[in-house]
Amino acid sequence: MSCALLLLLTSLALVMGTGTAVEIQRPRGVPQSKRQFYEENKPFTCLDGSSTIPFDQVNDDYCDCRDGSDEPGTAACPNGSFHCTNAGFRPAFIPSSRINDGICDCCDTTDEYNSGATCQNTCREMGRKERESLQIMAEITKEGFLLKQQLIHEAKRGQEDKQGKLTELQGSKKGLEGKMEALRTVKKTAEDPEKEAKERHLKSWEEQKELIRMEKDKTRMAEAFLELDDDADGYVSVAELQSHLELDPDSDGSLTETETQGLLGGAGKVDTSTFETVWSGIKDKYLSEGLSDPPAPVETPKEEESRDFVSDHDSDHYPEDYAGEEEDVEDDEEDDDHEEEEKVPPTVQTPEKREDDELSMPPYDTETQILIDAAQKARDDFDEAERALREVDGQMKNLEKEIGFDFGPSAEFAYLYSQCYELSTSEYIYRLCPFNRVSQKPKFGGSETNLGLWGQWAGPEENLYSVMKYDHGQGCWQGPNRSTTVKLTCGKETVVTSTSEPSRCEYLMEFTTPAVCQEPASLDEVLHGHTEL
């Protein structure tokens, strides 16, 4: 009355009742390759050798062997496996737990012989479908592989081109370096006399200015003496000076006689020549009686400052420094041009204002100007050489970077470099730029999100070039930085076929390219290689 008995009977019925079931000549669930271990009417030894049981305990729905080998056709052993022949399709092993569980696992229905499940034999249909799809795949692989050969060829040529270009650039770099060194010497040679001449010019200008100043001072002193000498007796007396409260040494608002006398060097009055000494003590404070405006104080520091401005404007340093800066700026953003303009005006305006009350430096003499022009030319030449070298360096760097990329064993992925591929979904446009970055842009407005920058090849050891990894994308709210895994499959065309986000901020992209197509096995081999009949 046990189910086991029922089960045994059913299997018998199956064997005897259906004339076509000839293939079940071995115990249920045993593959052909193990047929010899299950010999009817002989004691069965578990395949791990752990024990030996009577043959009627094989497939009796009770697990006797530790390795499950006595129950290949029932669900009795937790670690057993069941073999479905699946004639017309591919044979398969399924875990014993799927025998008679009401779910059709084997396309030949043999796993559900006692569950009440109604399974259709779908092996032929599945076999046909598989063959069809394999055929299609095989064709794709074949064509893809041809394309791949072409890609490899192109990549090789491209690589050679690049290598050639690089060698060429290396040559011209050497030339440029030599040239630059030479020009550096020329520049130095031209700049030394220039500097000397300019200094000379400056020095004589300084001397000249000092003379002018001294002259001016003398005139003021004489004017002051005349002004102070109220009684025009040729002497400035204490009384005459006392009206000048601004000279009060202790600034208490009154200029005493003693204080005044002190200003006059202890004397009661002074003549013109002695006044010279007195003048030097009071000239900074002295206010002219006739003028409402205070005299322009002779402030040396300020004068120097403004002079610096003037000389800076013509300075040889400034333009050079500025040129360098300008170049950097241009590299960055165009907007910075405005900044440049803003920087200039103050240096231009200040001297203009000063020109009114100050004498400007006279132009360089012809001799000096010639030296300056010569030096400027040397500088320009040098700068140009340097720029040319930088350009070559940049080109070389890019080339080296490209050459250095791992484009696969035969550089078959090189053609993807500096290309981009897009896929449009209901919400977003995804963009894959191989070896560069992956991004996502909302279809209906919104800014682009960086889903990762090129990281590395990340396939399994035996197939490294089947997966690309892009990481360090835009950070996720409360999460990691976005990253994308790109799975590559063989296809005739280079297309992004799907994208998904299996985990938050971890994207998955499917990408077909001929570059991963493997050399096709012969179709027959694909279709029949593993079929057991």
Partner 1 sequence: MAAFVVSPLKMGPLLVLWLAGCLSGTWAVDRGNFKTCDQSAFCKRQRALKPGQSPYRALLETLELTNTKLTLQLINDNNKVRLLLELYRLQGNMTRVKINELKPLKPRFEVPDVLINDPPTEPLSLLSRDENGVVLSLGADSQRLIVSAKPFRLDIMEGREVLLSLNSRGLLAFEHLRIRKDTQASQQFEIAKEDEKVEDGMWEETFKSHTDSKPNGPSSISLDFSLPGVENVYGIPEHADSLKLKATDGGDPYRLFNLDVFQYEVFNPMALYGAIPVMLSHSAQRTMGIFWLNAAETWVDISSNTGSSETPQTDVRWISESGIIDVFIMLGPTPTDVFSQYASLTGTQAFPPLSALAYHQCRWNYNDQEDVAAVDQGFDDHDIPYDFIWLDIEHTDGKRYFTWDPHKFPQPKDMLQGLLDKRRKMVTIVDPHIKVDSSYKIHNEIRSKGFYVKSKDGGDYEGWCWPGNSGYPDFTNPEMRAWWASMFAYDQYEGSMENMYTWNDMNEPSVFNGPEVTMHKDALHGNWENRDLHNLYGLYVQRATAEGLIERSGGVERPFVLARAFFAGSQRYGAVWTGDNAAEWEHLKISIPMCLSLGLVGVSFCGADVGGFFKSPSTELLVRWYQTGAYQPFFRAHAHLDTPRREPWLFGPENTALIREAVRQRYALLPYWYQLFYHAHHSGQPVMRPLWVEYPQDTATFSMDDQFLLGRDLLVHPVTEEGARGVTAYLPGKGEVWFDVHTFQKHNGAQNLYIPVTISSIPVFQRGGSIISRKARVRRSSSCMEHDPYTLFVALSPKRFAQGELYIDDGHTFNFDKQKQFIHRRFSFANNALSSRNLAPGSQFTTFSWVEKIVILGASKPSKATLKTPDGKESQLEFEFDASMSVLTLRKPGVNAGLDWTVVLQ
- Quick check: 509 binds partner 1 (CB under 8 A)? no
Interatomic CA distance for residues 265 and 238, integer angstroms = 11
C-beta atoms surrounding 329 within 10 Å? 15
Total binding residues toward partner 1, as defined by CB under 8 A:
32
C-alpha distances out from residue 139 to 95, 142, 149, Å: 34, 5, 15
- Quick check: 502 binds partner 1 (CB under 8 A)? yes
- Quick check: 501 binds partner 1 (CB under 8 A)? yes
**What is the closest distance, in whole angstroms, from the C-beta atom of residue 427 to partner 1 in the complex?**
8
- Enumerate residues 6+ apart whose C-beta is below 8 A from 276: 221
SS3 226: helix
- Quick check: 240 binds partner 1 (CB under 8 A)? no
Instruction: Give the helix ranges, DSSP H, for 356-416.
Output: 366-404
Interatomic CA distance for residues 417 and 382, integer angstroms = 36
- Quick check: 204 binds partner 1 (CB under 8 A)? no
Strands 483-490 and 506-513: parallel
Q: Which of 22, 333, 338, 477 binds partner 1 (CB under 8 A)?
A: 477
Stretch that binds partner 1, among 36-44, 332-340, 346-354, 475-483 (CB under 8 A): 475-483
Of the candidates 448, 408, 442, the residue with the CA atom closest to the CA atom of residue 425: 442
DSSP 8-class letter at 247 = G
- Enumerate residues 6+ apart whose C-beta is below 8 A from 492: 140, 143, 144, 147, 512, 514
- Quick check: 5 binds partner 1 (CB under 8 A)? yes
DSSP 8-class letter at 527 = H
- Quick check: 500 binds partner 1 (CB under 8 A)? yes
Q: Which of 300, 366, 478, 522 binds partner 1 (CB under 8 A)?
A: 478
**What is the closest distance, in whole angstroms, from the C-beta atom of residue 504 to partner 1 in the complex?**
5
Interatomic CA distance for residues 58 and 30, integer angstroms = 11
Of the candidates 93, 35, 29, the residue with the CA atom closest to the CA atom of residue 61: 29
Stretch that binds partner 1, among 12-20, 98-106, 278-286, 416-424 (CB under 8 A): 98-106
Interatomic CA distance for residues 378 and 388, integer angstroms = 16
> Burial, 478: exposed, middle or buried (Cβ in 10 Å; 0-12, 13-18, 19+)?
exposed
Within positions 387 to 426, which residues make up the interface with partner 1, using CB under 8 A? 426
244 token code pair: 């000048």
DSSP 8-class letter at 481 = B
Q: Which of 3, 12, 136, 298 binds partner 1 (CB under 8 A)?
A: 3
For partner 1, give the closer residue by CB, 49 or 479.
479
Q: Which of 15, 21, 103, 291 binds partner 1 (CB under 8 A)?
A: 103
For partner 1, give the closer residue by CB, 292 or 478.
478
Q: Which of 26, 28, 83, 98 binds partner 1 (CB under 8 A)?
A: 98
- Asked whether the beta carbons of 349 and 306 are under 8 A apart, the reply is no
- Quick check: 61 binds partner 1 (CB under 8 A)? yes
- Quick check: 310 binds partner 1 (CB under 8 A)? no
**What is the closest distance, in whole angstroms, from the C-beta atom of residue 409 to partner 1 in the complex?**
28
- Quick check: 32 binds partner 1 (CB under 8 A)? no
- Quick check: 76 binds partner 1 (CB under 8 A)? yes
2 token code pair: 């046990």
Q: Which of 208, 419, 503, 531 binds partner 1 (CB under 8 A)?
A: 503
Q: Could you tell me the maximum CA-CA distance found in the chain, to the nearest angstrom?
A: 160
**What is the closest distance, in whole angstroms, from the C-beta atom of residue 478 to partner 1 in the complex?**
5
**What is the closest distance, in whole angstroms, from the C-beta atom of residue 500 to partner 1 in the complex?**
7
**What is the closest distance, in whole angstroms, from the C-beta atom of residue 458 to partner 1 in the complex?**
16
- Quick check: 245 binds partner 1 (CB under 8 A)? no
For partner 1, give the closer residue by CB, 294 or 442.
442
Interatomic CA distance for residues 473 and 451, integer angstroms = 5
For partner 1, give the closer residue by CB, 260 or 483.
483
Phi-psi region of 60 (alpha: psi -120 to 50; beta: other; left: phi over 0): alpha
Within positions 276 to 295, which residues make up the interface with partner 1, using CB under 8 A? none
Interatomic CA distance for residues 7 and 3, integer angstroms = 6
For partner 1, give the closer residue by CB, 43 or 102.
102
- Quick check: 457 binds partner 1 (CB under 8 A)? no
Q: Which of 102, 262, 265, 268 binds partner 1 (CB under 8 A)?
A: 102
The footprint of partner 1 (CB under 8 A) covers 1-5, 60-62, 64, 75-76, 78, 95, 97-98, 101-103, 115, 426, 476-480, 500-506
